[in-house]
């Protein structure tokens, strides 16, 4: 969705995870396995806060990024943040195809994945709800997101 939104706004698109992988020269999965989650979260926070962003950009973060250090506060102070709210089952369905790239999900079956995501949502929602905007992700389009963003200016 971030790429589509960036195209609609004629903004640059930045995927924070891709920037991290470029910086470390390996996949996040490999880095996570070798160094652990705590080291990854530190790297993620540092990358988020020190990346040289263009003036207008859509930045996609991983689901954990807003929940560590003061990342959500930093995002709100430096741009317009958006929480795209979805149920655990809907998220599991969307994540199923790429779960091998997600260290916390890759060994889970569908039921375990839904249960895991529900637990993560319960832990993380207090951070997500600090976003500038909260939108329902079911049937969300880039045009709808664009209109919401432009209404904030």
Q: What is the pLDDT of residues 22-63, one digit of tens each?
A: 999 999 989 988 999 999 999 999 999 999 999 999 999 989
Q: Name the class of domain 2-151.
A: alpha beta
pLDDT at 29: 87
Q: How many CB atoms lie within 10 A of CB 72?
A: 22
Q: What percent of the chain has pLDDT over 90?
A: 86
Q: pLDDT tens, position by position, for the chain (153 residues)?
A: 999 999 999 999 999 999 999 999 999 989 988 999 999 999 999 999 999 999 999 999 989 999 999 999 999 999 999 999 999 999 999 888 888 878 788 889 999 999 999 999 999 999 999 999 999 999 999 999 999 999 997
Distance (Å, whole) CA 50 – CA 78: 12
- Sorted by where each begins, the domain ranges of the chain are 2-151
Q: Which residues does 127 contact at the CB level (< 8 Å), separation at least 6?
A: 66, 67, 72
Residues listed for the chain: 153
């Amino acid at each position: 969705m971030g790429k589509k939104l960036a195209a609609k706004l004629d903004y640059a698109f930045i995927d924070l995870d891709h920037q991290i992988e470029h910086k470390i020269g390996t996949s996040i999965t490999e880095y996570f396995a070798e160094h652990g989650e705590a080291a990854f979260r530190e790297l993620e926070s540092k990358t988020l806060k020190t990346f040289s962003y263009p003036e207008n950009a859509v930045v996609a973060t991983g689901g954990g990024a807003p929940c560590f250090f003061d990342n959500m506060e930093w995002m709100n102070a430096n741009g317009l943040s958006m929480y795209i709210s979805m149920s655990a089952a809907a998220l599991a369905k969307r994540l199923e195809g790429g779960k091998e790239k997600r260290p916390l999900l890759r060994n889970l079956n569908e039921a375990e994945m839904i249960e895991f995501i529900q637990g993560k949502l319960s832990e993380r929602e207090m951070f997500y709800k600090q976003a500038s905007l909260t939108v329902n992700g079911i049937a969300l389009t880039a045009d709808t997101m664009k209109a919401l963003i432009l209404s904030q200016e």
